[in-house]
């Protein structure tokens, strides 16, 4: 599938897009200061493994599809694997060397270089990063 088809598929039929009020989930709001993208990220972790992940909110095609792809790729992964994924995503969006194999479908944003759109693709990961950082802080 071409990049556009993948993005539009995840935008029109976003996976794991639902509000979660279960207290077993950690959650974090993530929004773009420059625009109106606004997402909540939910994540359930047991023994360092991401058991479930979801998102809700209102955002553009790039943000929504990126969040959908993120959840699909990270459910079942360990926290360290998630961090590695996240670091590669960040590297890709900032034109740094990155590992294509790790990112799977998320490589569709490799060409999302327009500054505002880059922020959109990164938006769900910004929320995830906040959650994972909080875990690291509380573990230390």
Smallest distance, Å, CB 132 to other proteins? 27
Distances (CA, A) of 138 to 32, 50, 132, 134: 26, 17, 10, 6
> CA-to-CA distance for 74 and 81, rounded, in angstroms?
8
For other proteins, the closer CB: 61 or 135: 61
3-state secondary structure (DSSP) of residue 58: strand
Smallest distance, Å, CB 35 to other proteins? 5
Residues that bind other proteins in the complex, under the rule CB under 8 A: 4, 7-8, 11, 35-37, 58-62, 65, 114, 116-117, 120
CB atoms within 10 A of CB 77: 16
For other proteins, the closer CB: 60 or 79: 60
For other proteins, the closer CB: 11 or 122: 11
Smallest distance, Å, CB 38 to other proteins? 8
> CA-to-CA distance for 65 and 121, rounded, in angstroms?
8
């Amino acid at each position: 599938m071409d990049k556009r088809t993948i993005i539009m598929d995840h935008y029109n039929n976003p996976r794991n897009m639902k509000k979660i009020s279960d207290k077993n989930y950690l959650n974090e709001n993530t929004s773009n200061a420059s625009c109106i993208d606004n997402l909540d990220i939910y994540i359930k972790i047991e023994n360092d493994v991401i058991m479930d992940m979801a998102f809700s909110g209102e955002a553009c095609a790039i943000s929504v599809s990126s969040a959908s792809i993120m959840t699909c790729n990270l459910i079942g992964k360990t926290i360290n694997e998630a961090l590695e994924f996240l670091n590669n995503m960040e590297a890709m969006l900032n034109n740094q060397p990155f590992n294509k194999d790790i990112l799977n479908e998320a490589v569709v944003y490799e060409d999302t270089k327009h500054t505002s759109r880059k922020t959109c693709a990164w938006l769900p990961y910004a929320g995830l990063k906040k959650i994972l950082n909080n875990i690291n802080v509380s573990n230390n």
